[in-house]
Structure 1
Amino acid sequence: MTTTAMPLLRLLPAWLCAVLALHAIGAKLATAYAAPLPLSVHAALDAAGLPADALALAVLPVEGRFPRWLVQAERPMQPGSTMKLVTTAVALDLLGPNHRGSTELLSTADVRDGVLQGDLVLRGGADPELGLPQLWALLGELRRLGVREIAGDVLIDRTLFQPPRADIGLPPFDEAPEFPYNGIPDALQLDANLLEVELESDASGRVRARAWPPLPALEVDANAMVPSARPCADWDEDWQSPPEVSASAGVLRVALRGGFPPACSQRVRLHLLDRLALNERQVRWVWQTMGGTWSGRAREAETPAQARLLARRQSRPWGEVLRTLNKRSDNPLTRLLYLQLGVPAMAQAPERTTADRSADRVRQWFADHGIDTAGLVLDNGSGLSRSERITPLQLARLLQVAWQGPHAPDLLMSLPVAGIDGTMRNRLKQGPATGWARLKTGTLRNAVALAGYVRDTQGHWWVMAAMVNHDEASRKGRPVLDALAEEVARRGARLVSHHDGIWPYRTEP
């Protein structure tokens, strides 16, 4: 301090000098220990060979603002599947846990002598559970009405969402678009648009394949698959995309490619056919098994204005489906729920996509609850995206709001329990977080994340949102996040062990 400044300081009141001194000391401490990491987290980072700046996190009490722990907490990060927490919490608040999807059969035609004298409409209402058994029950209602023959076509109505077929022209997310996690939902979502295939090889490596159920006008050919040296459980490592699909005389032939282990048997569900072609074969097979006849075809169309309802089914409430969505980290289910957020606003802006309207509603929900949206990037609501971003603080604040809302039990019920079930069943199996922490995982090639609710040893609950973004994150980042969760389970955000002793967590406003 210069000597010219000393007389000025003497003119200041003593209390103001003390405040300035404390501020200077606090600034130095904030610089040196702005957000110290626990020794266990440092050790996990060092063991993984990851830099400290790859980690961003926010730990807050479930109620109130302090104490809290913020490390790069306002840095937009790739969240992986922890983004499902955003879709879940906002949908619970805006749609409610009793929101249901539906599927309907309609027609403008009359029924005479057991024949529906025109087209049958199969209208999708974002039913998350419409499989072949549910379709069988729905068509059974048609048989109960005395219909044994459909004289016209089956019109597939997916227009609840815009565009109705978001899968058309969309570049694949990765090199395995056929696998279930890459499913792009539509409003019908019949059997998740998946074809079940049985693959079986003998000791010599010769592979046989068949579809199940045996859908009409469809052949699955595995003659081009070659023996693989991998274990049977890792058969998909040698899968080659895409399969070759050809048509001849109305029969579709799917030729599978890649390697498959000898003496191996697998039953898998894959995206192998265009969904309209698949839906036609699914409806035809179910209708034929019920003794019905139909010689028409399936085509995409909107429900005619004068169509009357013949049969309808409803799914279970989404509040129950969320258990599957979050514990299994189901991408298509999450994307289906995310799109439903935008449906109420579709009439106001018909030129915009449903996904854009969903993003608007999520942003408005954040604003309504005082959560800054700077850096928030929304795509499909599932986290299976190269573009989605959220800051740890935004995600932690969302979890705080959800905890204090009326649907907190529904959210908590849906989350994996540390060391017990879901995607957390093999993590945090022995420690203070086991059986208590409810955490959503997230994984991409360059990102891992962990977010949810953690109970400490004193019985206090905390929200935690932590993300590691790095080229090696998916291979090396999980132990870092697990060490962090264990620290929160021990002491919450009150104290953190540092190299020079015990320091309070960062508590700036």
Structure 2
Amino acid sequence: MLQSWAWGQEPAAALFELTTDPVLLNSKISILAIDIKTGDTLLKWNPKKSFATASTTKLFTTALAYELLGPSYQFQTGVYADAPILKGTLTGNLWVKGGGDVTLGSKFFNADGLELDVLNRWADSLIAMGLHEVKGNIIIDGSDFGYNGAPLGWSAADLGNYYGAFPAGINWYDNILKYYFATGKPGTKAKLIATYPKQSQLYFNSRIVSARIKGDHSNVYGYPYDYSRSASGRLPAYKSSYMVKGSIPDPELNFAEVFRNVLVSKGILLTGEVKTMRLAKLKRPDYDMITLLLSEKGRNVDEIATWTNERSVNFFAEGLLNGVGYKITGDGTNASALNVEHTYWGSKIDTSGLRIFDGSGLSRENKISASHFCELLKYMYHSPNFNLYFASLPTAGVSGTIRDLCNDQMGEGKICAKSGSMTGIKSYAGYIHSLSGRDFVFAVTVNGFTCATSHVVSKMEKILNSLSGL
């Protein structure tokens, strides 16, 4: 049953309750709600104040991808030969050219255990072409996307964890590394027994101990392209195999090792080495002048954007952003993508005070105001891509990362929005279809709080419920 207070409170009263809350007096707050049809401002508080908003940043990223890539755009990966295949033997090199596809072997598009299907299919296709031996090298080339690793402003505490996995020119399995631990009695050190995928160069220093707990209370630390990893924290006691997810140190090298193992398992003889462009610093070929053996198209932008917004997948958000830069300029680096993004939005909305450094919102260097979000959301409301963009957003009380927001309250089913959460940050931005049939855009962010996140959310819910009841 819907609670009566959920829509009985006026928006102004709900706003007053949030902004005068004693535990939030030292926090930064930015709020704005606008009626799309009339342009009337329904609610505002520091609407022009810009600060980090966490994952609501993905609203800008996915909108940019819909607008500049298009919903049906697919990232491509190519496998090339720089010499002919004669009597089953490739005397030259086998090249894999990455196009930034973040869906290769992704858990979001492949059931557990089927992540190798795409590489098995590649191997089968090569065998069907008559290839049985590679005398040259297998070279993995993701150089179009650079090797800078994570964007500016990502915390060292995030980089080693699965949600801190960064996309590269070539990716596989969401660039996730799974660590499997055996745990004993409480207080004893957990033992690393395996990783998936296997990592030949990993140096791992673990301080994880067993404890009388039910969930994962561990953290993995490490930097991009550094195979030294450490971990600390606690895991449940008496587990024969407990899995902890982290990020892959080097996506290019990881793919090289996985692909080599697949080819060998299929009976293809490899007499050369497996190399990566980053480590070997090779001269890349003119791909138009060598033979394309096969091309793999990944999932389309609409599918990727839907997972990005529905489940807040950081890896996908960064991949979409870099992909925009790659398509527009031929350069898939973060810097190139950000230049494209800033130029594009600067020509569409008021970007005064807007600073975006990544696609996912993990960067605490981002500076976005409630006004920026509402400008973006109004722009997309009139875009030919609006229906798909809107459908990519989760619904309050129903789905995705906001399925618990306004649950059994007035806002349930009426709010489609993106949430953002980091330590000391809570944010929501999106659309409201109100009780009377009016359409609003809104954004509400609280940054710098030290109280429980649930307390902040409860205050925000009152604002969202009051707007939904108009």
TM tier, shorter chain? 0.7 to 0.9
Q: Give the C-alpha shift of residue 365 in structure 1.
A: 2.8
Q: 2:339 aligns with which of 348, 360, 382?
A: 360
Amino acid at match of 1:288: V
The question of 1:286 aligning with 2:268 is answered: no
Amino acid at match of 2:120: W
8 Å Cα contact 1:102/1:126 also seen in 2: yes
Corresponding residue number in structure 2 for 1:443: 421
Corresponding residue number in structure 2 for 1:318: 301
8 Å Cα contact 2:395/2:403 also seen in 1: yes
Length, aligned pairs only = 440
Corresponding residue number in structure 2 for 1:241: 221
Relative to structure 1, the CA distance from residue 159 to residue 469 in structure 2 (aligned partners, 3 Å threshold; closer, same or farther) is same
The one-character-per-residue Cα deviations of 1:131-184 (angstroms, maximum 9, x if unpaired) are 2332222232212212122222221211332xx112189785232421121122
Q: Give the C-alpha shift of residue 52 in structure 1.
A: 8.3
Corresponding residue number in structure 2 for 1:19: none
8 Å Cα contact 1:196/1:268 also seen in 2: yes
8 Å Cα contact 1:280/1:298 also seen in 2: yes
Relative to structure 1, the CA distance from residue 68 to residue 89 in structure 2 (aligned partners, 3 Å threshold; closer, same or farther) is same
Relative to structure 1, the CA distance from residue 398 to residue 216 in structure 2 (aligned partners, 3 Å threshold; closer, same or farther) is closer
Amino acid at match of 1:199: F
- Tell me, in whole angstroms, the C-alpha distance in 1 between the residues paired with 2:144 and 2:461: 41
Corresponding residue number in structure 2 for 1:330: 313
The one-character-per-residue Cα deviations of 1:418-438 (angstroms, maximum 9, x if unpaired) are 112211122211112112311
Q: 1:116 aligns with which of 90, 112, 126?
A: 90
Q: 1:391 aligns with which of 364, 369, 373?
A: 369
- Tell me, in whole angstroms, the C-alpha distance in 2 between the residues paired with 1:134 and 1:464: 41
Corresponding residue number in structure 2 for 1:297: 274
Q: 2:46 aligns with which of 66, 72, 75?
A: 72
- Tell me, in whole angstroms, the C-alpha distance in 2 between the residues paired with 1:218 and 1:157: 20
Higher mean Cα deviation, 226-235 or 375-384? 226-235
Amino acid at match of 2:438: H
Q: Give the C-alpha shift of residue 41 in structure 1.
A: 4.1
Corresponding residue number in structure 2 for 1:505: none
Q: How does 1:194-233 map to 2 (within 5 A)?
A: 194-203=176-185, 205=188, 207-211=190-194, 213=196, 215=198, 217=200, 225-229=207-211, 231-233=213-215
The one-character-per-residue Cα deviations of 1:385-424 (angstroms, maximum 9, x if unpaired) are 1211122112101101111111111111111111122111
Higher mean Cα deviation, 462-471 or 196-205? 196-205
- Tell me, in whole angstroms, the C-alpha distance in 1 between the residues paired with 2:45 and 2:65: 29
Corresponding residue number in structure 2 for 1:29: none
Corresponding residue number in structure 1 for 2:401: 423
Q: Give the C-alpha shift of residue 186 in structure 1.
A: 1.1
Relative to structure 1, the CA distance from residue 442 to residue 226 in structure 2 (aligned partners, 3 Å threshold; closer, same or farther) is closer
Corresponding residue number in structure 1 for 2:174: 192
- Tell me, in whole angstroms, the C-alpha distance in 2 between the residues paired with 1:114 and 1:207: 48
- Tell me, in whole angstroms, the C-alpha distance in 1 between the residues paired with 2:394 and 2:317: 15
- Tell me, in whole angstroms, the C-alpha distance in 1 between the residues paired with 2:152 and 2:367: 20
Q: Which SS does the other structure have where 1:464 is aligned?
A: strand
- Tell me, in whole angstroms, the C-alpha distance in 1 between the residues paired with 2:235 and 2:393: 35
The question of 1:159 aligning with 2:143 is answered: yes
- Tell me, in whole angstroms, the C-alpha distance in 2 between the residues paired with 1:52 and 1:208: 44
8 Å Cα contact 2:102/2:167 also seen in 1: no
Amino acid at match of 2:314: N
Q: Which SS does the other structure have where 2:24 is aligned?
A: coil
- Tell me, in whole angstroms, the C-alpha distance in 1 between the residues paired with 2:201 and 2:192: 12
Higher mean Cα deviation, 68-77 or 466-475? 466-475
The question of 1:408 aligning with 2:386 is answered: yes
- Tell me, in whole angstroms, the C-alpha distance in 2 between the residues paired with 1:213 and 1:146: 31
Contiguous gaps of at least 5 residues in structure 1: 1-35, 247-251, 492-509
- Tell me, in whole angstroms, the C-alpha distance in 1 between the residues paired with 2:400 and 2:151: 33
Q: 1:92 aligns with which of 63, 66, 86?
A: 66
Q: Give the C-alpha shift of residue 113 in structure 1.
A: 2.8
Q: Give the C-alpha shift of residue 258 in structure 1.
A: 4.9
Relative to structure 1, the CA distance from residue 207 to residue 77 in structure 2 (aligned partners, 3 Å threshold; closer, same or farther) is closer
Amino acid at match of 2:211: A
- Tell me, in whole angstroms, the C-alpha distance in 2 between the residues paired with 1:484 and 1:170: 33
Q: Which SS does the other structure have where 2:80 is aligned?
A: strand
Q: 1:481 aligns with which of 454, 457, 460?
A: 460
The one-character-per-residue Cα deviations of 1:356-385 (angstroms, maximum 9, x if unpaired) are 33333323333433x211101121122111
Q: Give the C-alpha shift of residue 447 in structure 1.
A: 2.0
The question of 1:307 aligning with 2:287 is answered: no
Amino acid at match of 1:386: R
8 Å Cα contact 1:201/1:261 also seen in 2: yes
- Tell me, in whole angstroms, the C-alpha distance in 1 between the residues paired with 2:210 and 2:427: 33
Amino acid at match of 2:79: L
Q: 1:466 aligns with which of 444, 449, 468?
A: 444
Q: Give the C-alpha shift of residue 212 in structure 1.
A: 5.4
Q: Which SS does the other structure have where 1:68 is aligned?
A: strand
Contiguous gaps of at least 5 residues in structure 2: 1-9, 106-115
8 Å Cα contact 1:193/1:271 also seen in 2: yes
Corresponding residue number in structure 2 for 1:262: 237
Q: Which SS does the other structure have where 1:410 is aligned?
A: helix
8 Å Cα contact 2:98/2:142 also seen in 1: yes
8 Å Cα contact 2:220/2:229 also seen in 1: no
TM-score by length of 1: 0.78
- Tell me, in whole angstroms, the C-alpha distance in 2 between the residues paired with 1:52 and 1:254: 37
Relative to structure 1, the CA distance from residue 242 to residue 317 in structure 2 (aligned partners, 3 Å threshold; closer, same or farther) is closer
Relative to structure 1, the CA distance from residue 175 to residue 217 in structure 2 (aligned partners, 3 Å threshold; closer, same or farther) is closer
Higher mean Cα deviation, 401-410 or 302-311? 302-311
Q: 1:340 aligns with which of 313, 323, 326?
A: 323
Q: Give the C-alpha shift of residue 203 in structure 1.
A: 4.5
Q: Which SS does the other structure have where 1:228 is aligned?
A: strand
The question of 1:55 aligning with 2:55 is answered: no
Q: Give the C-alpha shift of residue 195 in structure 1.
A: 2.0
Relative to structure 1, the CA distance from residue 63 to residue 303 in structure 2 (aligned partners, 3 Å threshold; closer, same or farther) is farther
Q: Give the C-alpha shift of residue 226 in structure 1.
A: 4.9
Corresponding residue number in structure 2 for 1:454: 432
C-alpha RMSD over aligned residues: 3.0
Q: Which SS does the other structure have where 2:143 is aligned?
A: coil
The one-character-per-residue Cα deviations of 1:277-308 (angstroms, maximum 9, x if unpaired) are 42232112222222223241222156411221
Bigger CA radius of gyration:
1
8 Å Cα contact 2:34/2:442 also seen in 1: yes
8 Å Cα contact 2:425/2:448 also seen in 1: yes
Q: Give the C-alpha shift of residue 262 in structure 1.
A: 0.9
The one-character-per-residue Cα deviations of 1:33-89 (angstroms, maximum 9, x if unpaired) are xxx963334445566711287321111123341243222111112221111101111
- Tell me, in whole angstroms, the C-alpha distance in 2 between the residues paired with 1:462 and 1:44: 20
Q: Give the C-alpha shift of residue 114 in structure 1.
A: 2.1
- Tell me, in whole angstroms, the C-alpha distance in 1 between the residues paired with 2:62 and 2:214: 35
8 Å Cα contact 1:220/1:256 also seen in 2: no
8 Å Cα contact 1:451/1:465 also seen in 2: yes
Q: Give the C-alpha shift of residue 214 in structure 1.
A: 6.3
